[in-house]
Structure 1
Amino acid sequence: MATTTRPNERGFTLLEILVVIAILGLLIGLVAPAALRQLGGARISVAKQSIERIGTVLDMYKLDVGTYPSTEQGLQALVERPTGVSAWNGPYMKGGVPVDPWNKPYTYRDPSTRSGHEYDLCSAGPPDSSSAQQPICNQ
């Protein structure tokens, strides 16, 4: 039995489908890089805000204990009582020691290596192939 096409049947030609796919590919190629740049900027903003929040928690720790945690005690002192500390009123943070938006631990150092700061609290920032990557630190 032979099949015949009817003149009133409608459909898309292969050329029309290829044109639509090409247009979609161009749109994705133009929009995706901009969206990824926005995501990277948002993570940096979250890291800065997290550093400020942890800094506030460190200030609460200092009010209770009298000093900031040592480098050896680190941020773990905000979650578990360090040995030899009697005035600890924690835990100061729930859920354990926080990590930065790239799932790396924050770097904490007391005393600070920067002038005008009591301690250093930094995120290494986004993983980048450039060697000029600057860490995101407390102000």
Structure 2
Amino acid sequence: MSKSVKVGNSCSWQGGFTLLEMIVVLVIVGLLMGLVGPRLFSQADKAKVQTADTQVKMLKGALLTMRLDIGRLPTEQEGLALLNEPPADERSRAFWSGPYLEGSVPLDPWGRPYVYRSVPGRGQPFTLFSLGADGRSGGEGFDADVGYLPAH
């Protein structure tokens, strides 16, 4: 609320809010955040899962392209680094046409490296996945593993 203050022969207005008005605004903002906040965080988690799925597919494409060139997939010791660094063995090095990725191998959306194994997974000649939001194997919802999982 504004107040009129008489100074000499003239009136001047001093603008401002009362403490009660500020509390009311803060309560309204708090209520809105309580309703909208969880929905926004849910969308962020969903976006991370979709990003992990997209990155795994991109890495799969790079792995399969490299396999066409050198005739094999990386060993577990070589891992995904082989997409950017030539193999140590001369026979494979002669056919390596990388790097197969622009930039370095990405971390998953939760900041951890993707898990790569040279053993076949479900429908793929390798296993490649993110451990999900919790960083542990298995899980449900946003904690579930994302990618080409090992056959159980």
| Alignment TM class, shorter chain as reference | 0.7 to 0.9
The one-letter code matched in structure 2 to 1:34 is R
Residue 111 of structure 1 aligns to a residue whose secondary structure is: coil
Q: Name 2:20's counterpart in structure 1.
A: 15
Structure 1 residue runs of 5 or longer lacking an equivalent are none
Structure 1 residue 67 displacement after superposition? 1.3
* Structure having the larger proportion of residues in strand: 2
Q: Name 1:137's counterpart in structure 2.
A: 147
Verify: 1:102 aligned to 2:107, yes or no: no
The one-letter code matched in structure 2 to 1:26 is L
For normalisation by structure 2, the TM-score amounts to 0.77
Structure 1 residue corresponding to 2:125, chosen from 110, 118, 123: 118
Structure 1 residue 15 displacement after superposition? 1.8
| Mapped contact 1:74–1:109 kept (Cα < 8 A) | yes
For normalisation by structure 1, the TM-score amounts to 0.84
% identical aligned pairs: 35
Structure 1 residue 29 displacement after superposition? 1.8
Structure 2 residue runs of 5 or longer lacking an equivalent are none
| Mapped contact 2:133–2:144 kept (Cα < 8 A) | no
Cα distance in 1 between the residues matched to 2:54 and 2:122: 22
Cα distance in 2 between the residues matched to 1:42 and 1:120: 23
Q: Which aligned runs of 4 or more in structure 1 are off by greater than 6 angstroms? A: none
Cα distance in 2 between the residues matched to 1:99 and 1:69: 18
Q: How does 1:1-12 map to 2 (within 5 A)?
A: 5=5, 9=13, 11-12=16-17
Q: How many residues align structurally?
A: 134
Q: CA RMSD in A?
A: 2.4
